Amino acid sequence: MRRYESVVILDPEVPDDDIAAFTAKYGELIKSSGGEIIKIEDWGYKRLAYLIKKKERGRYILFDFVGIPSLIDELERQFKISEDVLKFLSVKLDDEVDLEAFKSKPEEEATEPAPPTSESPEESATEASASTPEAPSAESAEPPAEAAAEAAQPDTPTEAPEEAKGDAGTTPEGTPSEEAAPAQETVKEGE
């Protein structure tokens, strides 16, 4: 048995009733193949980073479950058939999972599987996902040096990189992080 995680993006126009039916249907599918659902999360509506089927928004559903590899084939086959599914991504979290452990204590599932493989990054990160806010405000609230410099830079000398590549050349990506004198740099470049 393996532990998987599937993120499914649904059409935003699908009514809530159908969402419930959708999760129930796939929950049933997982169970019928001998798997077990650990959790199903509804992230609500999110703005997509790019258009999918000409939609700007999508509804995100996360399935966290245990199952056999062929279950994924079946699950993805059905996702592909479904009209409501815009896109999906399935990720394997863990290779060997003791199914009984989840069945016996369903409350602790989030913390339980961490000990065996501490190397796997997604493993421990699963429970943190629910709290993600939709607004990207955290990005501006993250002050650390190079990120701030990165953000501030590209507005002013947009034409600089091409010139810089032309004669200085060596570090095209190096420029963004020098926050000291980007303006001087461009002037010098121009002369």
Hey, which residues between 66 and 125 contact another protein (CB under 8 A)? 87-89, 91, 121-122, 124-125
Minimum Å gap between C-beta 103 and another protein is 25
Nearer to another protein (CB atom), residue 52 or residue 68: 52
How far is residue 119's CA from residue 124's CA, in Å, rounded to a whole number? 9
4 by Cβ neighbours in 10 Å (0-12 / 13-18 / 19+) ranks as buried
Q: How far apart are CA 83 and CA 9, in angstroms?
A: 11
For residue 54, state whether it binds another protein (rule: CB under 8 A).
Answer: no
Place of tokens 């000291």: 180
To the nearest whole angstrom, how small is the minimum distance from the Cβ of residue 32 to another protein?
26
CB-count burial class (<10 Å; 0-12, 13-18, 19+) for 140: exposed
Q: Which residues lie near another protein (CB under 8 A)?
A: 7, 9, 46, 48-50, 52, 58, 60, 62, 87-89, 91, 121-122, 124-126, 128-129, 132-133, 136, 138-139, 142, 144-147, 150-151, 154, 168, 170-171, 173-179, 188, 191
